Amino acid sequence: MRKLKNSELGRLSVEDFKQVEKTPIIIVLDNIRSLNNIGSVFRTSDAFLVEKIYLCGITATPPHKDIHKTALGSTDTVDWEYVENTMDLVEKLKADGVVICSIEQAENATMLNDFAPKQQTRYALVFGNEVKGVSQAVVSVSDEVIEIPQYGSKHSLNISVSAGVVIWDVFVKLKVNT
């Protein structure tokens, strides 16, 4: 087995990425502190053709060298927008028919492995602050709260890891069911 060279990976140009059909996933980052986490979410969103990222509250915005360090140019491919108030954004997305899914540990949460996204539906996946998580106000108005099953002693994943796990899972479920 031979490792592939970068030139063999079939990477899309920025222009081609902008034109390709996107996965009906929107990412909402609710008060993320770490610039490296923000950059990592951009990179994962690029990999799975996420429709858009919303950066809310204290979440920093590109251009920033620490976001760029982990995003590796994906801030140029993935559409993004800054919205100061997460609740205002969530209410607007809901009014537009987007299903709001907070990624959080909560009573009656749906375990990720049991979450069954529907075709022809747009989903906003809300990821929260590294310490406080998704705000209770956003959790309270969410259509779904999705929890990543964890079996160790910490029951805590880094936000960029959580985003990778959830985006991949939803992407696969939407693509496999097509």
What's the pLDDT tens digit per position in 97-122?
999 999 999 999 999 999 999 999 99
What does the alpha-carbon distance between residue 122 and residue 19 come to, in Å, rounded to a whole number? 18
Domain at 88, CATH number? 3.40.1280.10
Alpha-carbon distances, residue 88 vs 25, 56, 77, 81, 140 (angstroms): 19, 10, 25, 13, 14
36 lies in a domain?
Answer: yes
Mean pLDDT, the chain, rounded, equals 96
The number of C-alpha atoms within 13 Å of 69 and in the hemisphere containing its C-beta is: 7
Neighbours of 4 (CB within 10 A): 8
54 lies in a domain?
Answer: yes
pLDDT band at 175 (very low <50, low <70, confident <90, very high): confident
Burial environment of residue 77 by CB neighbours within 10 A (0 to 12, 13 to 18, 19 or more): buried
pLDDT band at 177 (very low <50, low <70, confident <90, very high): low
Which residues have a Cβ under 8 Å from the Cβ of 2 and sit 6 or more positions away?
none
pLDDT tens profile 1-44 = 999 998 999 999 999 999 999 999 999 999 999 999 999 999 99
Place of tokens 């998704």: 134
Question: What is the number of domains present in the chain?
Answer: 1
129 lies in a domain?
Answer: yes
Residue 36, SS3 per DSSP: helix
- With a cut of 80, say whether residue 72 has pLDDT above it: yes
Are 117 and 143 in contact by the 8 Å Cβ rule? The answer is no
1 lies in a domain?
Answer: no
Place of tokens 């140009």: 13
87 lies in a domain?
Answer: yes
Residue 117: asked if its preceding bond is cis (omega within 30°), the reply is: no
